[in-house]
Amino acid sequence: MRDLITYRGPDGAGSMVFPEVGLALGHRRLSILDLSDAGVQPMQYAGGALTIVHNGEVYNYRELRTELEQGGYRFSSNTDTEVVLAAYDCWGKDCLRRFNGMFAFAIWDSRSRNLFLARDRLGIKPLYYYHDEDRFIFASEIKSILAVLPDKPSIHSALIDEYMSFGYLPGERTLFEGIFRLLPGNLLVYENGKIGKEQFWDFQFDNDRDLGLTYYLEKFSFLINDAIDLRLRSDVPLGIFLSGGLDSSAVVALLAPRVAEPLKTFSVAYDFGSDFNETSYARLVAKQFNTDHHEFFVKPSEFLDFVPDYVWYMDEPVTESAAISLYFIAKLAKEHVTVVLSGEGSDEIFAGYDFYFYNKLIENYRSLIGSSLANRIGSTLSSCLPMSKLGKYLRLTCMSLEERYKGISTYDDHSKRSLYSSGFHELIDHRHLSDGFLGSLFTHTTGRDALSRMLYFDTRTWLVDDLLIKADRMSMAASLELRVPFLDYRLVEFAASVPSKYKFHGKTPKYLLKRLMENNLPSEIVHRKKLGFPTPLKMMFQGELYEYACDLLLSGSFRNRGYFEPNRIERLLNEHKQNTNDHHRLIWQLVVLEEWHRRFAD
């Protein structure tokens, strides 16, 4: 189990066995704090009564250590892990509310004879588990659990429909029967053969009261600067992923005055024209702040060669092509540093996507003319334009926010269902198995404005199960620790208190962040259109990747899975090749699914 994920911790390995209770703990170490042997895990405390395996960082460990020392606790290392153990010894499960960081850990408490597991508030670090009448198994990645199960779990085939809707699986379920994610902000206790779960953190949107733009700017400035300060704590070199977008550029601008040596910054691009190359913007920021800047250009052949490894490292089928770009930039960064900061999470807490604006317009339109009339008009017009983008938005006007909003990265239901075989249609019966989970997210924000409800939904789904999985897996694949200051839980709570008009102001997304940075960054950075890590999949599936996609998706193994109609898949590929329709997102989604089956299920 441990050595299947050596890349997550190449600097050392440890294990500890407790035969009297049938327990074994294993750990791979990526040395960040206290590089000496005092930081080796599994680590024990309280005379061996407590034993931990810990992935991640608790950034405020110094402050907690001082508080604990004042209460009589003593430490033999300079690690945050030992502080986690002492904090658990002192405060029990309430220690989790005191931690500021990204973490997944398990503590064996020999006194109460239970195993205590926890995952950080936002789900930055992963934690999976399997439980039956004979065993409880947990790990940072699913592949480690599969390694020790006597029989491979069944594939939860009905969940393929959810994957086709989202490009990932939201919530606690995975495609393997019996293997679950521990949800963010949750703890789990395994005792006497049973598990108990509890949510220790969530955030509420309480943004009806307007304290004024100046107040929010000042508080935002304090919190983001403090979040960055905490994430500088490291005993190894540190750098920044710089895309040239607002979020990563803001991190550079805020961090540069704090360091004596030039910051090390890293960018990635494809040589497919300006739509897939942001390096000019990244260079502009690097020049302004005199960073030690490095770039990597991904070739189509490198992208293609890495796809099977991408699926292996991702561990779950996640349709996130930008993850491959992230791997190559992480690999480049690892040659220079061990820790990097990025701008991940800003879009989900401060409203960075145009899709929010369009959904707000739909909500205003439905409120203006009434939902019944909106439903009739939208249904009539969309039937005339079933496959067009306009038809998609017209169909959305027929639905309430709870019905239509499934997050940023969603796939059109009509398009995916047109590919299904009749047998798969019968299996899924058009029901989503996670509707209970997704519905609970809207219940949590009942009575709030539309933007707040969408932001909460995306923070609990798309951010966790797509973006943060991508960030963790691809950085760890390169043995690199990625830190995300925008997801300091205090910033998330603060953002939820900010009135929506300071997030999406008119047609301006991330208004508060843009106002904060307008005097720190060039105007062309602050006000440019968002790109992210764009990937030229459309052109690659018409060129270098076309034969690969055909070999994969027209193969006997793909056909025999029974999910899709072969003739429709062939038509999909041909239409994309001939440029009569752009199907690159669906093709990539199908490619990832088939590669995942071959690597993990077959």
Could you tell me which CATH class the domain 3-199 is placed in? Answer: alpha beta
User: For strand 128-131 and strand 179-181, is the pairing parallel, antiparallel, or unpaired?
Assistant: antiparallel
- More confidently predicted of 336 and 382: 336
Residue 189 sits at φ, ψ, to 5 deg, of -120, 125
**What DSSP string runs through 443-490?**
HHTTTS-HHHHHHHHHHHTHIIIIIIHHHHHHHHHTT-EEE-GGG-HH
Average pLDDT over residues 54-68: 97
Query: Which CATH number is correct for 213-351+459-526, 3.40.50.150, 3.40.50.620, 3.40.50.300, 3.40.190.10?
Result: 3.40.50.620
Q: Residue 377: pLDDT above 90?
A: no
Q: How many H-runs (helices) and E-runs (strands) does the chain carry?
A: 28, 16
The pLDDT of residue 434 is: 53
Q: Residue 393: pLDDT above 90?
A: no
The pLDDT of residue 417 is: 86
Q: Token digits for 159?
A: 């969940």
pLDDT band at 39 (very low <50, low <70, confident <90, very high): confident
The pLDDT of residue 370 is: 79
Min mean pLDDT across 131-135, 166-170, 369-373 is at 369-373
The pLDDT of residue 35 is: 80
Ramachandran bin of 129, using left for φ above 0, alpha for ψ from -120 to 50, beta for the remaining angles: beta
Largest CA distance in the chain: 74
Grouping H, G, I as helix, E, B as strand and the rest as coil, residue 2 is coil
The pLDDT of residue 263 is: 93
Q: For the CA atoms of the chain, what is the radius of gyration?
A: 24
- Tell me which residue of 263, 268, 224, 264 sits closest to 243, measured CA to CA: 268
Q: Token digits for 347?
A: 């879009």
Tell me: the pLDDT tens digits for 311-363?
A: 999 999 999 888 999 999 999 999 999 999 999 999 999 999 988 988 888 88
Q: Residue 492: pLDDT above 70?
A: yes
On whether the CB atoms of residues 259 and 360 are closer than 8 A, the answer is no
- Which residue ranges make up each domain of the chain? 3-199, 213-351+459-526, 536-602
Q: Residue 114: pLDDT above 70?
A: yes
Report the alpha-carbon distance of residue 432 to residue 240 in Å, rounded: 39
Mean pLDDT of the chain: 92
The pLDDT of residue 38 is: 85
Q: H or E stretch including 305? A: helix 300-314
pLDDT band at 236 (very low <50, low <70, confident <90, very high): confident
Q: Token digits for 324?
A: 């491959």
Report the alpha-carbon distance of residue 231 to residue 107 in Å, rounded: 24
pLDDT band at 398 (very low <50, low <70, confident <90, very high): confident
Q: Token digits for 496?
A: 């939820």
pLDDT band at 523 (very low <50, low <70, confident <90, very high): very high
Q: Token digits for 428?
A: 């899924």
Residue 38 sits at φ, ψ, to 5 deg, of -65, -15
